[in-house]
Amino acid sequence: MALRACGLIIFRRVPPASHVDPGEDDMTTALRETEEEAGLHANHFRVVDGFRKELNYKVNNKEKTVIYWLAELKDPAAQVKLSNEHQDFRWLPLKEACSYVGYQDMQDTLNDAYRFLQGNLKP
């Protein structure tokens, strides 16, 4: 069975994502992971309608699907509280964020999110 993970690309946030728990839908997983990994609750952001990006790749010879939605942080001063899974976070401009993530599919996702926000990419 392929692994499945979900997350949110939050403006000013590197996207958290993790495995879908039994009985969870994809969006519930994304919201839970954002809260667990970044300390940001659903009331801290607004999920943007119309943007959804699915990435597919292999991890340890197992197929994995990760789904990202786009979310806008309501208060740029909201405090991020990282879980013990992370050491640091950064707010980066698009070009730097793409260099930081390294993987081409995630760079494409960040660029697609930017174009979507600019009105130049249809869902």
Burial code (b: 16+ CB inside 10 Å, e: under 16) for 73-102 equals beeeebebeeeeeeeeeeebeeeebbeebe
Report domain extents, the chain: 3-117
- Tell me what pLDDT residue 35 has: 94
Q: What is the pLDDT of residue 55?
A: 94
Write down the pLDDT at residue 117: 92
Q: What is the pLDDT of residue 109?
A: 95
pLDDT recorded at residue 59: 87
pLDDT attached to residue 86: 83
Q: What per-residue confidence (pLDDT) applies to 12?
A: 52
- For residues 41 and 35, is the Cβ–Cβ distance under 8 A? yes
Q: What pLDDT is stored for residue 26 in this prediction? A: 93
pLDDT at residue 11, rounded to an integer: 63
Q: pLDDT in tens for each of the 123 residues of the chain? A: 677 877 777 665 556 677 888 999 999 999 999 999 999 999 999 999 999 999 999 989 999 999 999 999 999 889 999 999 888 888 899 999 999 988 999 999 999 999 999 997 765
| CATH number for the domain running over 3-117 | 3.90.79.10
Note whether 2 and 58 are within 8 A (CB).
Answer: no
pTM to 2 decimal places: 0.82
